[in-house]
Amino acid sequence: MKENEIDKLNPTEKRAAASLASIYSLRMLGLFMIFPVFSLYGQELEGNTPFLIGFAIGAYGLTQAIFQIPFGMLSDKIGRKPVIVIGMLIFAIGSVIAAMADSIYGVILGRIIQGSGAVAAAVMALAADLTREEHRLKIMATIGMSIGFAFAVAMVAGSVLNEVIGVDGMFWLTAVFALMGVVVTLFWVPDAPRSFHRETEPVPEQFKSILKDYELLRLDAGIMILHMVLTATFLVIPIALVNEQYANLPSSEHWKIYLPVMILAMGLMIPFIIIAESKRRMKEVFNGAIVVVALCELGFWAFNDSFYALAFFILIFFAAFNVLEASLPSLVAKMSPTEAKGTAMGVYSTSQFLGAFLGGVIGGKLLGLYGINSVFLFAMLVTMVWSIIALTMKSPRYLSTYVVKLSSVTTKDIAHVTAELTRICGVAEAVVMPEDGAAYLKVELHALDKVKLYEFSKKYSQEDE
């Protein structure tokens, strides 16, 4: 078989990529549409305080962090689709509660329930069930891009829809999105027999070793700080934009900043990602982006009385944020043990959602006690701490995770098969696990002999023919 034939997705894989990306996108749209406007809306709710507004913004992150790994494990027992449907229904219920609330406490309850519908791990596991080993990276990348796209759309759509249907209307729309996700799951996502995939799912026995890995802990701290800073910053940016003493821009016109910013920031990100990966400057680009985020927070702190300064720093902030958001999971994949990527990614995702919660809570508390500038100062200081942590990071190996199906391999074949695999061009490391019917590889994708690897897989999977 030729390499270009190996690289082609089959119809089921194309359908899986599109349908699962849409589920993720619908959920992310619902979560983040309120992001650019909620701090203003929250001031109209009964019982509001800056702390409680911040808590409401970040509340989903707490329950998401708690439930996302258990939901993934539950999907191993009762099936992926049932877990996704249950999670999306829980998300819809939380959205309805938030939509009907006239007090800040009702919205907090709704946001907590929204986060409890944690389907991310189950979606990724289903993506692995539906794709051949050689295409898994491509499908995961498609889903990842859909998340970034949904976030950008949500930032713009939230500003526009706020004037049309209000924040309560956006919560109702979020419930509709969740029900659409249920329909997509039931009628568009292909069916597949479930199996276990170490590259996408956590293994409980591996948590101890992953939590002792200092390189991975640096990255977990990084994603936690990044989302802490994001949530805290955009708790107060809308307030600074409307404040007569600051930018004095009505909330109905905030989209005029977010729309060009999101487009330009995506464009600015691309050359740095190319430099990081193809020129092997990942550590330098990564550390530089952290410093840029810190400088943007300093800019917000020093120049938030100027509309043009705020717009400029929001643009640069999101360009650097996008670089970091794209780089961090890539670094986790590069630095995690070959057979423990799923566990490493589970801890990483939990850290991300915990960061969103902490950013809302700490940002809200600081806003109430000391005002807008204290939040920017806090964000700058924690980002500087992150930059120090990141300086000690090892330069990553520029290797990707790759899985090969080897269903007829037995325990006595491990040494021989491992040696054969590592002799294939582009394979740097191999861990053969007969109990999984697979080998987990670290490979140089640009040099990988996919044809030989495909033929090798066929040789050791004869019983599946």
Residues 6+ apart with CB under 8 A from 459: none
Q: H or E segment at 431? A: strand 427-433
Helix, strand, coil shares, percent, the chain, to 5 = 75, 5, 20
DSSP one-letter code for 424: S
DSSP one-letter code for 396: P
Counting every residue written for the chain, the total comes to: 465
Predicted pLDDT at 6: 57
DSSP one-letter code for 198: T
Note down pLDDT in tens along the chain; length 465 residues. 555 555 678 888 899 999 999 998 999 898 899 989 999 999 999 999 999 999 999 999 999 999 999 998 899 899 999 999 999 999 999 999 999 999 999 999 999 999 999 998 899 888 888 887 777 778 888 888 888 889 999 999 999 999 899 999 999 999 999 999 999 999 999 988 777 778 788 888 999 999 999 999 999 999 999 999 999 999 999 998 888 666 778 888 889 899 999 999 999 999 999 998 888 899 999 999 999 999 999 999 998 888 889 999 999 999 999 999 999 998 998 899 888 889 999 999 999 999 999 999 999 999 999 999 999 999 999 999 999 999 988 888 888 888 888 888 888 888 988 999 999 999 999 999 888 888 899 998 888 888 888 888 888 876 444
Give CA separation, 372 vs 246, 331, 377, 378, 382, in Å: 11, 33, 9, 10, 16
433: alpha, beta or left? (left if phi > 0; alpha if psi -120 to 50): beta
Calpha distance 322→357 (Å, rounded): 20
Q: Are 36 and 238 in contact (CB under 8 A)?
A: yes
pTM over 0.95: no
Token pair 């791990």: residue? 121
Predicted pLDDT at 4: 57
DSSP string for 21-33: HHHHHHHHHHHHT
Give CA separation, 399 vs 292, 303, 332, 349, 447, in Å: 27, 42, 11, 21, 11
Tokens for 135?
């295409």
Nearest to 439 by CA among 392, 401, 465, 390: 401
Domains defined for the chain, CATH in brackets: 1-190 (1.20.1250.20), 212-398 (1.20.1250.20), 400-464 (3.30.70.100)
